[in-house]
A and B are shown apart, each in its own frame.
Chain A
Amino acid sequence: MTDAAEATTDIRHTQDGRTGRTVHFSVFRGVPGANASYVTYDVPEVEGMVVLDAIHYIQKNLDMDLACRWNCKAAKCGSCSAEVNGHPVLMCKTRVDDLPEGTITVAPMKTFPLVKDLVTDVSRNYKVNASITPFTPRKDEPTPWNIKQHDIERLYEFRKCIECFLCMDVCHILRNHDLHEEYYGPRYFVRMAGLEMHPMDDADRTEEIRTEGGIGFCNITKCCTDVCPEHIHITDNAIIPMKERVADRHWDPIRRMFTKKKESAKPGTAAE
């Protein structure tokens, strides 16, 4: 390189980070209705490599047609969900050197209909989301709102959700029992908990949670909590508190006598 070229060349790594090891990946390939199969690819390992890096390597060098979703590559957008060695994970956050030695299998999420390879059709999630009674602010609240930190401290957790749908994928009610019509799924109880506990929200979703939401189907087995990449305590902090609120309304005549319903509890009429 000439000196002049050297002057502008960006600072690069001095090492390429190759570890010298070759990792075998067995990746699901296929479209619905056709013969699906696992195809094996050999990928040279680089220090700190994540599964998504390997998929990109495959796309670039071995198989341009391998489909997967991704955006941020920094565990912030929740696009790259897949099942690596049978565990629902974000591919961009799963380091290859954290996995046991041997072939690494990568498959699409099982709960959602296949589109192609690692890509699934997650549109149902957006439909569920749209059916939830949206945020309904209290009326006559002077702006700017005055909200104390301790009133919303527990809500931050719910707002961390990146909609990766891994919890929906792992939940046995959807995954094994296919109760897609009866049960909203963990992600949406996270959202509803966030709305219900919002200090400025005025809607009442308790009935919705019990009936359309089908919260009774959840048997609190916590698989959703285990897979959440944002470490949201879905079961303990969202679902169980919502179950308790449903119990207040439905199973606890004593408490019902003492608590009056919120005045403007008109689900569905919000935000008009």
Chain B
Amino acid sequence: MAQDATTKWTPPEHTGLAKESAFQRLRRRAPWWLLPLTVVTVLSAFIVYGMWTAFFGGKVYSAPYLSPFYSPQIWWNGPVTPALWVLPFPLLFRATCYYYRKAYYRSFFWDPPACAVGEARKKPYKGETRFPLFLSNLHRYAMYLAVIVLIFLWIDAVAAFDLNGHFYFGLGTAIMVINCIFLSAYTFGCHSVRHLVGGCVDCYSRVRGGAKRYEGWKFITRLNEHHAMWAWLSLFSVVATDVYIRLVMTGIIIDPHF
């Protein structure tokens, strides 16, 4: 309290009452169905694109780039398109992700379409207590698999710095790295990761490595707070990477590089 009586301080202008921002106003005024509609459109588009690229799009590879849909490269020349071996894992991961569950329950099943607006469906509601939705509880296994796939994607991204033994850095490399960052932020912001790292601990002071686990939990919590954002960003970045490499592969654009 080392402030003396003579310290002068200028009384404020009365700032008046704060008005809401334009964004808040928009959000408040936007009709409730806008959000579900957007989600339905974007998610459907992704699934359609994913199917198309997996089944009919052909291998997407243009040295040194490999599309995330085709990584890891297994059974490169097998009878089925390699994408099919890999695609299910991330799809399963996203399908059981707590955030996407919210998004599609609201948007596809209308359970509920928005808060406090009434519900369309009148069938007895079972939530996630019955087949198939209770399988969402297996989310953590999907997470383990997704982490493995993510490791391959990082390997691909690192490998893309190398073209025939020479350092290579092109726009495609940057896109692949960014994609991996987004995917990592999404994957490690997962609620299951959060639980396993520290959420399951009751008293950090009494478990081994408690302080570290608490720090880890806090870090993941920070990622998790923006899980929805990472979910969408990584969804777009996967498609963007695939599209970009496809364009390079087909020669429509030439990859700018050093």
Partner-B contacts on A (CB < 8 A): 47-48, 83, 86-88, 97-98, 100, 110, 148, 150-151, 169-170, 172-173, 175-177, 179, 196-201, 214, 216-223, 226-227, 235-236, 240-241, 243-248, 250-252, 259
| B222 interface contact, C-beta 8 A | no
> Which of B37-45, B74-82, B127-135, B177-185 contacts the other chain?
B127-135
When the two chains form the complex, which single residue of A176, A199, A243 contacts B112, counting CB atoms closer than 8 Å? A176
User: Of B128, B134, B191, B204, which one neighbours A151 at CB under 8 angstroms?
Assistant: B204
Q: Which residues of A contact B115 (CB under 8 A)?
A: 170, 172, 223, 226-227
Cβ-neighbour of A170 out of B116, B195, B214 (below 8 A): B116
* B55-63, B98-106, B162-170 - interface stretch: B98-106
B8 at the interface (CB under 8 A from A): no
Chain B's closest residue to A200 (CB) is B203
B191 and A221 form a contact (CB under 8 A): no
Residues from chain A with a CB closer than 8 A to the CB of B204 are: 148, 150-151, 199
Is there contact, CB below 8 Å, between B199 and A218? no
A247 touches B102 (CB 8 A): no
Note all chain A residues with C-beta closer than 8 A to B128.
216-219
Q: List 24 A-B residue pairs with CB atoms under 8 Å apart, sorted by A's residue number.
A: A83-B116, A86-B116, A86-B117, A97-B17, A98-B20, A150-B214, A170-B115, A170-B116, A172-B112, A172-B115, A176-B118, A176-B119, A196-B202, A197-B202, A200-B203, A217-B127, A218-B128, A219-B111, A220-B101, A236-B224, A241-B199, A247-B192, A248-B195, A252-B140
CB <8 Å contact, B137 and A221: no
**Residue among B117, B129, B134, B194 with most chain A CB within 10 A:** B129
Complex partner residue of A217 from B17, B126, B199, CB under 8 angstroms: B126
Judge whether B205 is part of the interface by a CB distance below 8 angstroms: yes
Which 3 A/B pairs are nearest by Cβ-Cβ distance?
A: A199-B203, A217-B127, A223-B115
**A244 near B192 (CB under 8 angstroms)?**
yes
Instruction: Determine whether the beta carbon of A199 is less than 8 Å from that of B111.
Output: no
Query: In angstroms, how far is the closest chain B Cβ from the Cβ of A49?
Result: 11
> Given A223-B116, A241-B191, 14 more contacts at CB 8 Å?
A86-B116, A100-B29, A170-B115, A173-B127, A175-B116, A201-B202, A219-B101, A220-B101, A221-B105, A223-B112, A236-B225, A248-B200, A251-B138, A259-B200
B residues near A219, Cβ cutoff 8 Å? 101-102, 105, 111, 127-128, 133
Chain B residues at the A interface, C-beta cutoff of 8 Å? 17, 20, 28-29, 98, 101-102, 105-106, 111-112, 115-119, 124-129, 133-134, 137-140, 191-192, 194-195, 199-200, 202-206, 211, 214, 224-225
Docked complex Cα distance between A227 and B203 (Å): 30
At the interface, is chain B mostly helix, strand, loop or mixed? helix
Which residues on the A side are within 8 Å of B205 (C-beta)?
Answer: 148, 150-151, 199
Bound CA–CA A184/B254 (angstroms): 59
B112 near A214: Cβ-Cβ < 8 Å: no
Distance between Cα atoms of A11 and B117 in the complex (Å):
47
Give the Cβ gap from B225 to chain A, nearest Cβ, in Å.
Answer: 8
- Tell me whether A245 and B200 are in contact (CB under 8 A): yes
A169 cross-chain contacts in B, Cβ below 8 A: 116
Q: Which of A47, A201, A244 has the most CB of B within 10 A?
A: A244
Residues of B within 8 A of A252 (CB): 140
Closest to B203 in A: A199
- Please state if A221 and B116 are interface contacts (CB–CB under 8 Å): no
Given A216-B127, A216-B129, are A87 and B116 neighbors across the interface (CB < 8 Å)?
yes
The answer to whether A214 and B129 touch across the interface, beta carbons within 8 angstroms, is yes
Given contacts A196-B202, A199-B202, A218-B127, contact A172 B111 (CB under 8 A): yes
Beta-carbon contact of B102 and A221 below 8 Å: yes
Which A residues lie within 8 Å of B211 (CB)? 150
- Pick the residue among B102, B116, B194 that contacts A220 (CB under 8 A): B102
Residues of A contacting B116 in the complex (Cβ-Cβ under 8 angstroms): 83, 86-88, 110, 169-170, 175, 223, 227
When distances are taken between beta carbons in the complex, the residues of chain A under 8 Å from B98 are 220, 240
Complex-state Cα separation, A11 to B138, whole angstroms:
65
Q: Is the CB of B137 within 8 A of A243?
A: yes
For A198, give the chain B residue with the smallest CB separation: B202
In whole angstroms, how far apart are the Cα atoms of A259 and B200 in the complex? 11
- Chain B residues near A87: list those with CB within 8 A: 116
Give Cα A100 to B24, complex, Å.
Answer: 12
B29 contacts A173, C-beta separation under 8 Å? no
A63 to B194, CA, bound (A): 53
- Minimum CB–CB distance for B117 against chain A, Å: 8
Please indicate the chain A residues that have their CB under 8 angstroms from the CB of B206 in the complex. Answer: 199
B204 to chain A, nearest CB (A): 5
> Min CB distance, B101 to chain A, in Å?
6
Give chain B residues whose Cβ lies under 8 Å from the Cβ of A223: 112, 115-116
Query: Closest chain A residue to B227 by CB distance?
Result: A236
Task: List B contacts of A245 (CB < 8 A).
Answer: 195, 200
